[in-house]
Structure formats: C-alpha cells, structure tokens
Amino acid sequence: MKVQLNGKEVTTSAASLRDLLKEIPDLPEYYAVARNDEIVPRDKLADTPVADGDVIEVFSFMAGGSC
C-alpha cells in the first residue's frame, strides 16, 4: 500500500503505525505521530492500523528559546 509519510509517498506493508515507525531510520527518541490530521497517543500506535492513502506525519521535539 502507499501512504504519505512526512510529505513523501512511500510503499509499505506495515499493518500498524508502530510497524511503520520501525521502518524509519534514525527515528528520534521523542516524537509525536499524526494519522490523517489526528494525533495518535503512543500507547495506541500498535493498535492503529495503516491504510492505503493515509497521511502520516512524525514530529520531533526541539528545544529552543530566545537569545
């Protein structure tokens, strides 16, 4: 199946979001995942299926502030 992952079309056989995340090299330690514009809690990643045409965004957290 084909999904959009961070703006790029990819082909995957992942059954769940957790499986899809395993395919991402250098996944940051702290991240959030949105599937079709809905944030998915980390404890639900294994139970959230991936379907053809899904739009998946993986966000990493960055520290910052003003100078």
Residue pLDDT, tens place only, 13-67: 999 999 999 999 988 888 999 999 999 999 999 999 999 999 999 998 777 766 6
pTM above 0.75, yes or no: yes
Q: Which long-range contacts (CB under 8 A, 24 or more apart) does 28-31 make?
A: 28/60, 28/61, 30/60, 30/61, 31/58, 31/59, 31/60, 31/61
Is 37 inside a domain boundary? yes
Residue 30: inside a domain, yes or no?
Answer: yes
Per the structure, the count of domains in the chain is 1
Q: Which domain holds residue 24?
A: 2-60
pLDDT at residue 32 in the model: 96
pLDDT number for residue 13: 96
